[in-house]
Every structure is written in structure tokens, then in C-alpha cells.
Amino acid sequence: MEISPATGKILGMVMAYGVSSLGLLLAYYNYRKRIVKADEIFTRTAKRVIGTVAVLGGLTAVLVATVLTSPGKPPLEAVRENFLGIVVPVLIFAVSFWMTWLLYRHFAKEFEGK
């Protein structure tokens, strides 16, 4: 697939902003946990907002990429043709995220116990 230089720059900026926002979120989490010693880092509403934004952003990116890589086809048909190409990477990401989260929770409890 050939993309224009402008599209490449936009994608690079979006990825840089995404990584930057994750870094800021981690810094905020670390500040609340270690400095303020807060029992609750994020409220239930904040967790829902963060989760919703992450899921919708990822879903939008995947669907737009699917439609753009299938020129001349209706969007629903493009998604239907690439269904496995969408679902398998999402499942792999979900399992890796889940395993990372479980490991984090395990080691965070172990760290607090010392």
C-alpha cells in the first residue's frame, strides 16, 4: 500500500501523541501511588472514560485502516473480508495486555509487602 508523505507524518504525530499521553498517564499514576499515597488512583468514572477512549480509538483506527486498504469496496464489505485480520491481532493484544496487567498486579502486591 502506498501512502502519501502527509499521511505518514500525520500517523507519526498520532503515534507520538499516543505514547506521550500514556507516559503522562503513567507519571500521574506513579505520583498518586508513591507521593500522595492515595488508596484510589483513578475514580470509577475516570477508569470508564480512559477505557472507552482507548477502545473507541483503537476500534476507529482499525476500521479506518481496513476501509482505506480496500479501495472501491463498501466499508462493511471491506471489514467482512478482513475479519480474521482484525480479530486475531485484537485477541493477541488483549491476551498480552491481560498477562501484563496480571504480572503488574502480582509484583505491585509483592512490592507493597516488603
pTM: 0.62
Once rounded to an integer, what is the mean pLDDT over residues 71-92?
85
Q: What is the pLDDT of residue 113?
A: 57
Residue 67 vs residues 24, 59, 86, 98: alpha-carbon distances, Å: 31, 12, 12, 28
Once rounded to an integer, what is the mean pLDDT over residues 65-92?
84
- Nearest Cα to Cα of residue 57 among 81, 27, 21, 83: 21
Once rounded to an integer, what is the mean pLDDT over residues 63-85?
84
